[in-house]
Amino acid sequence: MRHAPIILFGVGGVGSALIRQIVQNRAHHATEFELELPIAAVCDRDGAVVALGEAIEDVTLLDIIDFKKQGGRLADYAQGGPQQDLAAIVDVAGRPNAIVVDCTATETTAPALIAALERGYRVVLANKKPLTIEQEVYDRLTRAGATVNGRPPRQLTATRWETTCGAGLPVIATLHRLIASGDAITRIAGALSGTLGYVMTGLQQGRPFSEVVREAHRLGYTEPDPRDDLGGVDVARKALILARGLGWRLGLEDVAVTGLYPMEMASLSVTEFLEALPSLDAHFRRLVEEAAAQGGVLRYVATVAEGRCTVGPQTVDASSPLGQLRGADNLVEFHTRWYQPTPLVIQGRGAGVDATAAGVLSDIVELALLRA
């Protein structure tokens, strides 16, 4: 039986769903892959639970999920304690064939991830931020591992980051397969935010911008502060990861981002912002009408082409894959030498903790089997 001990950073929505899926799939992994995924440590922002023996027991893992759901901190958990250094947790909990999994939303995990790779462990990221800070950090995280002719082949490296772009959709894997085949990628265009896709669909239906955003906020489709979605920075991070995957050496500051609200609304409280939204209705109604007059529709699009990354509202052909997209699905078009004039299209559910956790778990299993 193969063993791949897991050290988990982050026990929020995705981290909790991942724990649950690992526990639920133990028999499946054992039967299909002769694989065990013991969880050696679970960490949140300032606390950790570390296995005293081989692994944290499943009953304890499920209790941790409930504890966190109630707002608890692992520093206060009965079997937990404070932690201020994730790299130290990697040292304490690390063991042969370990996989460190980052389900947080902070760039501060980067030193611990790099330390894990230096110790010969492997890394899986659902967290975009370490991949979108300094280029050197991206290179160290994505190019660690086995080498061929002095350079690590992309899919034999010790890191996987599939769920950073499109949740469980195979966007990064497709990018790597196209590059491996020698197919020249000329353009990537995508709707990479389920929240903004929901907003664009509402606008296309003729609804006021303010009404759609307020509804998305009420239903929990947006972050607690909807500007975190409407500003476009999260989409910009995904575009940058795709651009860096093409070998472009760009930073987040190089991505041209057009958000869906003016900067003078940035200083408002969330309540004030929601109340002020009707002032934007006429602007977005005009954009939708202008798009329709051109035979197109309005979409929030990330474009990676000709050495540039742009993110923002864009008129697209109504008959194109992006033009036909509805609801909160994600969609990515790869325009290449071989995939033209019809692009290679990946579409599906691009958000949700369960879909994202399933993608993370798939990355874990793939690395664990390669390790063996």
- In this structure, are residues 308 and 323 in contact, taking their beta carbons and an 8 Å threshold? no
328/200 Cα distance (integer angstroms): 9
21/264 Cα distance (integer angstroms): 43
Other Cβ atoms within 10 Å of 25 Cβ, number: 16
Distance of CA 194 to the CA centre of its chain: 12
CA-nearest of 11, 2, 140, 24 to 65 is: 11
The catalytic residue among 68, 128, 129, 238 is: 238
> Nearest 5°: CA angle at 88, between 8 and 104?
30
Cα→Cα distances 166→268, 283, 334, Å:
30, 29, 14
User: Does 68 participate in catalysis according to the annotation?
Assistant: no
Cα→Cα distances 329→54, 59, 98, 220, 229, Å:
40, 35, 34, 16, 15
Catalytic residue positions, numbered? 238
